[in-house]
Amino acid sequence: MSTTPAPLTGASTIQTWLDDPAGGDVLRGLLAQGGQSAEALAPIAGLPLQNLVAMSGGAFPQEALDALVAQVNPDYVPAATAETPKGQWAEKITAGRFTGQTVIVTGAGSGIGRATASRVAREGGRVIAVDVSQERLDEFVAAHEGADVVALTADITDDEGVARIIEAAGDRIDGLANIAGIMDDMTPVGDVTDAVWDRVFRVNVTGTMKLMRAVIPAMLAQGGGSIVNTSSEASLRGSAAGAAYTASKHAVVGLTKSSAYMYGPSGIRVNAVAPGAVITNIEAKFNSPLGAERVQAGMAVMVPPVTADRLAASITFLLSDDGVNVNGQNLASDGGWSAA
């Protein structure tokens, strides 16, 4: 007995769209207009097409989705008003939580780093906002007029850049949020190039270590501080990225635990946050058919991507004094993905 497939809507998964002859044609056509192919959607193929509206940062608005659905589903009636998404959450500022504190935030120009720097600044902290992108930092500063922000264009892998960051922070450094990081190209170890391996380790591990090493003297001198590193779901499982990124994020956890153990008695707490999928500007390429197939299969249990302010909530908790009794942890902030 054959069954008629349900008509395509925004609630249908991206994979269902791609598998449908008419839906696949229009979706591939739309992607081609933006110079993309369906492969770019492989890691999120199990998510509803509707999620692309939030994930695209305005490039794929609700009207574009409605127009796409209407092309293949003549009976489709767009909702007059957007439904309140399940699990709606709004950031609540804790006024003064970081007053009197200086916090270095790397990767502050975009995504999770930007959301964290923003939250610390809006909660009264002095933020040393670090990024390689001057343009992104300029935008951040413009959006935080009146806040105590020192924007610094620097590369965390570069000793001279790290020295400038420490100099800008001054004698007192209460917090370090090591958030700058890059993805790999999803290659398994059999295909990984030395260039990808070295670059991913240089930024994610060596850069993270250099900033930690640089803040330790000030934190020891003042008798405490909080360091929060950014790991990933890929620090918890083998199915979320390629060999280089996965190994680099496991290394971040090792660095976190070693430092927590070494400096705990000196009042320095060192933790990591492991984000699940987050809507940011991070780039993920697929340079290996095996990597694409395996990572996509692993994504089947993934929780839908979230906005970066949810990660800032976890990171600022650990940065703040509320994290007083937490040291050496790799906190999954992934909506439960790691429980699957």
Ligand X SMILES: NC(=O)c1ccc[n+]([C@@H]2O[C@H](COP(=O)([O-])OP(=O)(O)OC[C@H]3O[C@@H](n4cnc5c(N)ncnc54)[C@H](O)[C@@H]3O)[C@@H](O)[C@H]2O)c1
- Minimum distance of ligand X from residue 277's CB (angstroms): 5
- Closest to ligand X by CB, 244 or 268: 244
Q: Which of 12, 235, 245, 263 is catalytic?
A: 245
Active site residue 249: yes
Beta bridge partners of 273: 230, 331
Active site residue 263: no
Q: Does 330 bind ligand X (CB under 6 A)?
A: no
Tokens at residue 98, please?
């970081």
Side chain identity at residue 145, one-letter code: E
90, 66 contact by CB (below 8 A): no
Q: Does 128 bind ligand X (CB under 6 A)?
A: no
Q: Does 270 bind ligand X (CB under 6 A)?
A: no
Question: Binders of ligand X among 208-247, rule CB under 6 A?
Answer: 230, 232-233
Cα dihedral 40/299/182/338 (nearest 10): 160
Question: Binders of ligand X among 274-303, rule CB under 6 A?
Answer: 275, 277-278, 280-282
Name the residue among 237, 238, 244, 236 with its Cα closest to residue 287. Answer: 244
Name the residue among 161, 189, 186, 209 with its Cα closest to residue 282. Answer: 186
What would you report as the CA-atom Rg of the chain, rounded to the nearest whole angstrom? 21
Site track for ligand X across 149-188, x = CB under 6 A: ------xxx---------------------xxxx------
Side chain identity at residue 175, one-letter code: G
Of 20-28, 111-119, 143-151, 291-299: span binding ligand X (CB under 6 A)? 111-119
Region for 223 from its dihedrals, namely left if φ exceeds 0, alpha if ψ lies in -120 to 50, beta otherwise: left
- Closest to ligand X by CB, 218 or 228: 228
**Residues labelled as active-site residues:** 231, 245, 249
Residues that bind ligand X (CB under 6 A): 106-107, 109-113, 130-133, 136, 155-157, 179-182, 203, 207, 230, 232-233, 275, 277-278, 280-282
